A and B are shown apart, each in its own frame.
Chain A
Amino acid sequence: MMCEECGLRPARFHIVTLSSDAKAEKNLCPECMAKAQTQMPGLDMSEFAGFLSNMFSQHLQKLKKSEPIPDIMCNSCGMTYEQFHRDGLLGCVHCYDAFRTPLEALVQRKQGYQQHLGRRPGRISREAALRMDIERMHRQMAKAIEEEDYERAAQLRDEIRSNQSALGQIGHGQETAPSWPITHEGGAEA
């Protein structure tokens, strides 16, 4: 069952409100439950045992922080993070670089993973993907240097080198094992 308040997330709490003349029932997700609690002074969440209490308090903390919307913009297409936050769609592929940090948190929350394990582009487009990666890492490296995060910058530099050598091998037609794990290739044969 979905949450009756937001309709977006699965309901985890079943709330029964009793008053002198009526009984009201509602199914809520942890986030809406956290919001509801602020309007229900009589509700003591400490009575919830174990994981329920944890699940709830995580969302309550998040709510207290009220997640400030980062004031950033994609220089390539002009999309602001606020616009994206409102409509849910990015403006172009470069938004992924511009909004990387908040997006990482969002992807983690929605998917629970950070690493793609599925199909990858074929030989021609694999080259394009490598170039895109190198380009992205260059930008990230510049940003890391700017933020004086030299450890991250050095790590990125090594990754760029490894990708550049992989790119060189494709160019010479001697493509060996790529630097990423391939768990599934082809897949549509039969």
Chain B
Amino acid sequence: MIDPIQSPEQDVVLFSRVRISRNFAEIPFAPKLTKEISEAVIERTREAIFQMPRGKAFSLKRLADMDQDDRVRLAEHGFISRRLLDNVSQAAAFLTANGRATVMCNEEDHLRFQGLLPGMRMEKAAQIAFELEETVAENHPFVFDSQWGYLTANPTKVGTGMRASVILHLPALAQAEQIKSAAENAEKQGMQLSSLNAEGTEVQGALYLLSNIATLGRSEEDILDALVSAAEQLIDLERDAREESEQKDALALKDKLMRSFGQMMFAQMLSVNDFMQFYSDARYAVSLGYLSIPLSVLDGLMMDMQPASIVVRAGKAIGEREAEILRAEFVREALMQFEENS
């Protein structure tokens, strides 16, 4: 049997992500950017990226040339930011097929380099982003100020221009209503713990984002170290909370999670909200050894079942009801081979 947990700390951590914002020296920032000049941003980046030894792995996507669902799917998978979707007419992205390396063009800043890896691998994710950044910087210098470091369109993000994040699954802490105190504790360490979904209104699937707040006055290394340390504390807290739940009443917990799995497997229609709850319960069940579904399969499924991604997967325009029917079908198909682990 394959171990369902394949990446470091994957029982709690879905992804490690590092984004670095940069601007070219002689090109105006986003508010003053014309269509013509925005093309220059893409063109410069294209030259640099495609001449890299691994440049062939990248493809250039102009958002304006894509269907709405295809664009949103990229954001649902975390390959691009939601914010990039706000500027469809000028935005573009250089992407690898596995989504691990991305260069976003004409978002809030000219370029945003991203490294995205499953599990707790901050250092490697940062390495991916900085390698891309250095490649472009070799030919076209970015604006840099000796006092404030890398200058960004939003002046409160100057300095490293780096936002590092860990995407966490915290079902036991959420259940125990400990997210608030965990967030307060993270804030004391200069980190922000927020809900993963873009609107930030309601938490779906107990998924949270832990990110650095400050970008100025400390090195990238220090910021990453602080983030990793704050993430490790959260991971420990979540594991403790899971253990506590199990100690309290293991059978009741298993009953709840496995019923949820049953509902997911036998549902004929699945809304995104329901699915996210079932997904979260299944992920929790895997971490406790009740199920043996590889977490990467569950997380991949979670992204594929999002509203735009499911339309892309269907390959045709579908309505809400049809999407719910397809979601139930796809989920069954993907998970049928994994049986209960007890």
Contact = CB atoms under 8 A, between A and B. Distances in A.
A39 B141 CA distance: 51
Interface string B199-221: 00000000000000011111111
A124 B217 contact: no
A112 B216 CA distance: 8
Contact of B218 (A90, A95, A118, A132): A118
A118 B163 CA distance: 13
Interface string A117-139: 11111101100110011001000
A115 B184 CA distance: 27
Contact of A187 (B146, B153, B221): B221
A128 B150 CA distance: 13
Contacts of A106: 155-156
A31 B137 CA distance: 41
B120 to A, nearest CB: 16
B146 A188 contact: no
A70 interface: no
Interface string B135-148: 00110011111111
B144 A113 contact: no
A116 interface: yes
B81 to A, nearest CB: 15
Task: Count chain A CB atoms within 10 A of each CB in B32, B214, B220, B222 and give the residue with the most.
Answer: B32
Task: Count chain B CB atoms within 10 A of each CB in A77, A78, A117 and give the residue with the most.
Answer: A117
A129 B144 contact: yes
Contacts of B219: 117-119, 183-184
Interface residues of A, number: 44
Interface in B146-165: 146-151, 153-156, 158-160, 162
Contacts, number: 146
B134 interface: yes
Contact of B216 (A79, A113, A122): A113
A131 B328 CA distance: 60
B29 interface: yes
B218 A190 contact: no
A154 interface: no
B123 interface: yes
Contacts of A190: 123-124, 127
Contacts of B314: none
Contacts of B108: 89
Contacts of B142: 121, 125
Contact of A111 (B28, B134, B146, B214): B214
A122 B184 CA distance: 38
A124 B138 contact: yes
A1 B200 CA distance: 12
Interface string A155-184: 000000000000000000000000010011
A145 interface: no
A103 B154 CA distance: 11
Contact of B217 (A78, A113, A122): A113
Interface in A74-93: 77-79, 83, 87-93
B232 interface: no
A23 interface: no
A87 B155 CA distance: 12
A107 B155 CA distance: 7
Nearest to A137: B146
Interface of A: 1, 10, 77-79, 83, 87-93, 95-96, 103, 106-107, 110-122, 124-125, 128-129, 132-133, 136, 180, 183-184, 187-188, 190
- 5 tightest Cβ-Cβ pairs between the two chains A and B: A113-B217, A116-B149, A125-B141, A188-B130, A184-B219
Interface of B: 23, 25, 28-32, 108, 123-124, 126-127, 130-131, 134, 137-138, 141-151, 153-156, 158-160, 162, 180, 183-184, 187, 214-223
23 contacts: A78-B32, A91-B31, A96-B145, A96-B151, A106-B155, A113-B214, A114-B216, A115-B216, A116-B217, A117-B219, A118-B159, A118-B160, A119-B219, A121-B142, A125-B141, A128-B25, A129-B146, A184-B222, A187-B126, A187-B130, A188-B130, A188-B131, A188-B134
